[in-house]
Amino acid sequence: MVERGRSEQASGGSRPVEHKDDARRQAILRAATTLFAEQGYRETNLNQIAVELGFRRQAVYHYFPAKDEILYELIAQAGEAMISSSQPIFDSDLEPVAMLTEIVRNHVRVVLAQPDTFRVQFGELNKLSGDRADVLRKGMTDYVHRIADVIEAGQRTGVFVTEHPMTLALLLVGMCNGTTQWFDSARSSGSVDEIADHATLVAISGVTSRGATRSQNPTAAKPAKATVKSTSKSHTPASRRG
C-alpha cells in the first residue's frame, strides 16, 4: 500500500492530524519523478533532487536515505493507483465486454493522469532485484491475470476470440501503457478521456469474435509469459522504458 503521511495527536484530543513532513516528502517524490523521467534514474542523484527543491541534500536524506527508496515508493504508488481504481470494476457484476471496456478505459486514464510516474515504473521495475521488487512485479502479474480471467469469461460465452487469454491481456496492457510514450496534453488533439474511449474501441474490436480471427484450438497456442514491465504491490500493470 502507498505509505500514508505520518500523524500526530492533536493537543487535547485523540483525532490524528496530518504531519507537516508529509508535504515535503511528496514534494521530493514529485521532483524525483520529473528528473527520473527527463534524464534517467541512474543519471539522477539526491543532490540534484535537493537543488530542484531548494533543499539541502541532508533534508532529502532525512526522508529517503537512498535513491532507490524513492524509486520503490514511486513504483508502489503507481501500482496502488491502478489497483484501487480497478478493484470496483473487477468486483462488479458487469458482463465480460462491459467489464473489459471499463478496465481498459480506467487503465488509460490512470497512466495518463501521472505519465512520468508510470514511465519511470515501466523503465525501471524489471531492473530491480530482491524481495521488494519481486512483490511489486507479482502485483503487476496478478493484475494482468485478472484481465485474462475477464477475457476467458468472455470466451466461455462466445463473445471473445479464442486466443490464449494471457496473450490477449498482455497485448491490451501494452497498448494502454504505450499511450504514455506519445500522449502530450498540450499538443495532442484529444483529451485523456477521448484517448481512453478510443483505446476501448480498439481493444474490444480486437478481441470480439466478430472482429478477429478465431483459433481452431484455443489451448494449442503457447501462452505469452507474464513478465510485463509495470505496477503495484497487490495487483498491477505495465510496459515501457521511461
| 3-class secondary-structure state, position 214 | coil
Q: Is the pTM of this model over 0.85?
A: no
Q: Where are the beta strands (DSSP E) in 150-229?
A: none
**R_g of the chain computed on alpha carbons:** 20
- Provide the pLDDT confidence category of residue 144 given band limits of 50, 70 and 90: very high
* Structural contact between residues 100 and 151, judged by C-beta atoms closer than 8 angstroms: yes
Per domain, the residue ranges of the chain are 1-65, 76-242
Residue 199: is it exposed, middle or buried by C-beta count within 10 angstroms (0-12/13-18/19+)?
A: buried
Give the strand pairing for 7-9 and 16-18. Answer: antiparallel
In degrees and rounded to multiples of 5, residue 17 shows phi and psi of -120, 155
Cell reading at 96: 465480460
How far does CA 71 lie from the centroid of its chain?
14
Task: Tell me which architecture the domain covering 76-242 has in CATH.
Answer: Orthogonal Bundle (1.10)
| 3-class secondary-structure state, position 8 | strand
Q: Which residues contact 172 (CB under 8 A, 6 or more apart)?
A: 100, 104, 147, 203, 207
Distance CA 240, CA 157 (A): 33
Whether pLDDT at 7 is above 50: no
Distance CA 110, CA 106 (A): 6
Q: For the segment 43-82, what is each residue's pLDDT rounded down to a tens digit?
A: 999 999 999 999 888 889 889 999 999 999 999 999 999 9
Q: What is the pLDDT of residue 19?
A: 54
Q: For the segment 180-215, what is each residue's pLDDT rounded down to a tens digit?
A: 989 887 677 779 999 999 999 999 999 997 644 444
pLDDT average, residue stretch 230-235: 41
More confident residue, 183 or 109: 109
Distance CA 140, CA 76 (A): 10
Superfamily for the 1-65 domain = Homeodomain-like (1.10.10.60)
Whether pLDDT at 146 is above 50: yes
